[in-house]
A and B are shown apart, each in its own frame.
Chain A
Amino acid sequence: MIRGLWDRETVALLLLAALMPVASAWLWFGGTEALLRLLLTLTVSGIWHFVFMIVRAQPPSFAGAITALGVAMFAPQDLGLVAMLLGISFGTVMGELVFGGWGRNVLNPATVTLAFLGFGYPGVSWPDFLLPIAWAAIPTAALGVIFGVMPVRVILGAVVILMPAWALGLQSQPALVGAGLVLVVLVSDPVASASTRLGGWLNGLTYGALVVLFAIHWTDAAAVQLAVSAALLAGLAAPLLDEIAITLWIARRTGRHG
């Protein structure tokens, strides 16, 4: 009879709140240029949400702002305006809105945008991040986990791989910084990451392992580029990992009950 508040928009707002430390650190160091980029991505994402609201009666979502933030932070820097518009339109529409809006999508729309830009315009330069911004990823992850809107197992699974790999010198510090930021902004998305317990662990481990693999063998890639690629592949694998976890769960259950 009484209704809880944890509907889709509350979760989106809590995610946004959790992302505030990273976002403000990035804006602080990025200055006006970063702000303008964020405004651009917010506008484009907002327009598409509005279009789908009018045409297909899909209620718009604050999750569009999360997408906009992810794209503004990680998109290659020397792209033209047209490329940027094309990329974010593609990511928002094909990555999220055609599925019926946030909550029904399979991949993170910001990851889709970045992959689109990465594959579409090879040879562009990817942003670097200062260490203080990376520190902000820690409170963001903590907030997300405390609010219960970020999958804790995905984050832990990734950290379990990333930190030792860095300590052993398998990946450089910029690669770790990029991987950490991509982890909190793109990978630990409750919708696109694996939702089961075991699936969450596997999802995090997959992401971490891919980052390390790319860091070792993909020598000419920028830190963010390889993290985004790892995020895309880990996101694509997430439904499969969930399926594995569910199959095991059901097998254990039928083993117990016949």
Chain B
Amino acid sequence: MATRTYLQTLTDPLIRQNPVTLQILGLCSALAVTTSLAVALTMSAALTAVLVLSAGPISLIRRHIPDSIRLIVQIIIVASMVIVIDQILQAYFFELSQSLSVFVSLITTNCLVLGRTEGFARHNPPFRALVDAFGNGLGYSLILILMGSLREVFGAGKLLGFQVLPTVDQGGWFTPLNLMLLAPAAFFMLGLIVWAIRSILPEQVEPLDHAPPNAERLVD
């Protein structure tokens, strides 16, 4: 860990250590808020901001937090940041904050945020913690933006609200695939993304629970 450069700390969470596709963290929001790109973008920004803003303070006071109450302290800091972000969204982007509904407030309980503060910021100096938090935020955003764009394009023929594929209703040729706007589609898509990444980077494949009978021993 200590030998990693700042660049590695920043870029590792993008694909190699991606919090969503490798550690399968933060799925709840990844499934719920990717029906359109705009919502996904807002959520990404909100989460990245909370991650970075809470990693700094926690790393700063890391030597002063008693172990027995560290989770409570972390949650208080994270929750404060979430409230700030939520208020900003409601003040300046009211429409978007409505469509994000409860998911911004739920960033508090997002495994990804607590995972990074508990697993990294608590043991590392502030700057490194900030870089790591930003990298993880970017990794999360990458997946959300990918899924948000795909779901919006195939589910409604739009991207960021602009019509890119003319639908049949408007006299075009594209029939919107309603399934894309339902939660199962997000599962399928995430599964396919994980499959694609693990095909390219086989070291991410998890070991089997049981050892099957050894094939070589069984061949005649």
The chain A residues found within 8 Å of chain B, CB to CB, are: 80, 82-83, 86, 94, 98, 116, 119-122
The secondary structure that dominates the B interface is helix
Q: A116 — nearest CB in chain B belongs to which residue?
A: B179
Q: How distant is B188 from chain A, measured CB to nearest CB, in Å?
A: 6
Any A CB within 8 A of the CB of B193: no
When the two chains form the complex, which single residue of B175, B180, B182, B195 contacts A83, counting CB atoms closer than 8 Å? B175
Asked whether, in the complex, the Cβ of B179 is within 8 Å of the Cβ of A120, the reply is yes
Chain B residue contacts of A98, Cβ below 8 A: 195
Asked whether, in the complex, the Cβ of A86 is within 8 Å of the Cβ of B177, the reply is yes
Asked whether, in the complex, the Cβ of A119 is within 8 Å of the Cβ of B188, the reply is no
Any A CB within 8 A of the CB of B178: yes
The secondary structure that dominates the A interface is helix
Known: A94-B188, A98-B195. A119 touches B175 (CB 8 A): no
Q: State which residues 132-188 of B face A: CB under 8 Å.
A: 175, 177-180, 182, 184, 188
Asked whether, in the complex, the Cβ of B195 is within 8 Å of the Cβ of A119, the reply is no
Q: Complex formed: what's the CA distance from A119 to B178 in Å? A: 7
Asked whether, in the complex, the Cβ of B175 is within 8 Å of the Cβ of A121, the reply is yes
Q: Complex formed: what's the CA distance from A121 to B169 in Å? A: 13
Q: How distant is A154 from chain B, measured CB to nearest CB, in Å?
A: 25
Q: How distant is B93 from chain A, measured CB to nearest CB, in Å?
A: 31
Chain B residue contacts of A83, Cβ below 8 A: 175, 177
Chain A residue contacts of B180, Cβ below 8 A: 120
A-contact bits for B60-97, CB 8 A (1 contact / 0 none): 00000000000000000000000000000000000000
Asked whether, in the complex, the Cβ of B175 is within 8 Å of the Cβ of A82, the reply is yes
Chain B residue contacts of A82, Cβ below 8 A: 175
Asked whether, in the complex, the Cβ of A120 is within 8 Å of the Cβ of B195, the reply is no
Q: A122 — nearest CB in chain B belongs to which residue?
A: B178
Q: Complex formed: what's the CA distance from A94 to B179 in Å? A: 15
Q: B177 — nearest CB in chain A belongs to which residue?
A: A120
Asked whether, in the complex, the Cβ of B178 is within 8 Å of the Cβ of A80, the reply is no
